[in-house]
Chains A and B, each alone.
Chain A
Amino acid sequence: MKNKYSIFSLIKNALSGHENWQRAWRDPEPKKEYDAIIIGGGGHGLATAYYLAKKHKLTNIAVVEKGWIGGGNTGRNTTIIRSNYLWDASAGLYDHALKIWEGLSQELNYNVMFSQRGVMNLAHNLQDVRDLKRRTHANRLNGIDAVWLNTEEVKKFCPIINTSPNIRYPVLGGTLQKRAGTARHDAVAWGYARGADAMGVDIIQNCEVKGIKRNGDQVEGVETTKGFIKSKKIGVVAAGHSSVIANMAGIRLPLESKPLQALVSEPVKPIIDTVVMSNAVHAYVSQSDKGELVIGAGTDSYISYTQKGSHNIVEETLRAILELYPIFSRMKMLRQWGGIVDICPDASPIISKTQIKGLYFNCGWGTGGFKATPGSGDLFAYTIANDEPHKLNAAFNLNRFVSGDLVDEHGAAAVAH
């Protein structure tokens, strides 16, 4: 049984020099067989395990992770959470996640530092204005909060933005989702890991999957660096490496894996209390609780698994940031990194069964998976437990690339997801 985190546990442990905190999760050796195995110990995978145990009472399960939990894209994103997507299917999916975010710290008894500081999306040309206004209306029809701001209102909401009409891409307005915001990404992985572990889920780190064993069209288990583990149900949540796992299982996915970069500045005093995204010039920025500016850059145009990304991508982003925020011109950037994102042709995820019995894929989140973590885990757990999709993820099946029923979110999500 896990000790509850509270003000009292904090005081008690402070008095003993913080040396007696209970381990947040165990470090078990894999058993020979599980009822289900989740490949990938990121936020989505751990959330899947958590909801499988909590809602579907499937506790004899394992999460296998080749590195350490939360060390992939969960720890590499810019932590933005929003649900203002254009199409009904996406709105349903992302707002489901946002609703879980709103109570997540309490549910997990783990502070994920969810902060509803609002996300503003800027328009820089007339087509942006038309698209974003349309999206605002679509959001409101789906019960998602969205407002259109004119240039003065944008300036009022975030005073450091340069709203001069003389810049190369002037700010013509923007949309605001007030319920949107950010969360502490590592805490999401740790909170779900702790919660899943408490219900008996084995989280096995430093355990890389080397093969998927099939008997005809039924999965039998996974070959790992810690030996063979048997299971009739395997959920793959491997982000950029989804295609690598799919190749092991002998199935094809419509994914391309590319490096997506982000960077943070030196920490400064509070200067920007919201998240501002700009798809047209590709610049988005927020400020972490430590005071760093968190800046998202773009993806490289070619497939790569290097977790680095090209320098020119960073240059382009910073150029746009400096035009929109001249006040940042003398700031120093501290760190830059890349994560490998798996991009679908329609910029929407896949949460789906496959043609192989017992093999499920949750992938294709591309550049914007973090925001969906709780919803993705919840719906993927439902799909695995019931062997059929929940109505909220039915549209995100793999078969849509055959039927042509795509969920084209390029317009709403653009490059900055």
Chain B
Amino acid sequence: MFIINCPYCGERDQTEFSCGGEAHIERPKQPTELSDDQWAEYLFMRKNIKGIQFERWNHAHGCRKWFNMVRDTSNDKIQAVYKMGEKPPVK
């Protein structure tokens, strides 16, 4: 449980948000040409990092907008929050 600084609404309790998992997984541009291995990679395989992770969050009980977050999963400390489409802060 932690406080999240929504880029649109400011600081709110984490219970207002839902986590959308790993960020920056690009949808395949040519889905019809993908092999089964590539589909598995896109659909299921995850980094699941212990440490600095880039992820998507949705302010579900607020503005309902999606945004990205950089969070350390070993201590839940948030390093940065940035809007969709913006470049992730370099780490």
Contact = CB atoms under 8 A, between A and B. Distances in A.
The yes or no verdict on A and B being binding partners is yes
Interface string B33-47: 000110111011111
Contacts of B55: 302-303
B76 to A, nearest CB: 6
Interface string B1-30: 100000000000011001101000000000
Contact of B36 (A255, A301, A306, A402): A402
Given A244-B50, A256-B21, A312-B1, A306 B76 contact: yes
B53 to A, nearest CB: 6
Contact of A306 (B37, B41, B44, B75): B75
Q: Which of B41, B44, B53 counts the most chain A CB atoms within 10 A?
A: B44
A291 interface: no
Residue from A255, A303, A305, A312 having most chain B Cβ neighbours under 10 A: A303
A63 B36 CA distance: 35
Given A306-B76, A401-B40, A241 B50 contact: yes
A306 B76 CA distance: 7
What class of interface size applies to chain A in its complex with B? Answer: 20 to 34
B44 A345 contact: yes
B37 A402 contact: yes
A57 interface: no
22 contacts: A243-B46, A243-B50, A247-B47, A247-B49, A253-B45, A253-B46, A254-B44, A255-B48, A257-B73, A301-B18, A302-B71, A303-B21, A303-B48, A303-B55, A303-B73, A305-B50, A306-B76, A312-B1, A342-B48, A401-B43, A402-B37, A403-B36
Interface of A: 241, 243-244, 247, 252-257, 301-306, 308, 310-312, 342, 345, 401-404
Given A304-B76, A308-B76, 19 more contacts: A243-B46, A243-B50, A244-B50, A252-B41, A252-B46, A253-B45, A254-B40, A254-B45, A256-B46, A257-B48, A257-B50, A302-B55, A303-B19, A303-B21, A303-B53, A305-B50, A305-B74, A310-B15, A311-B1
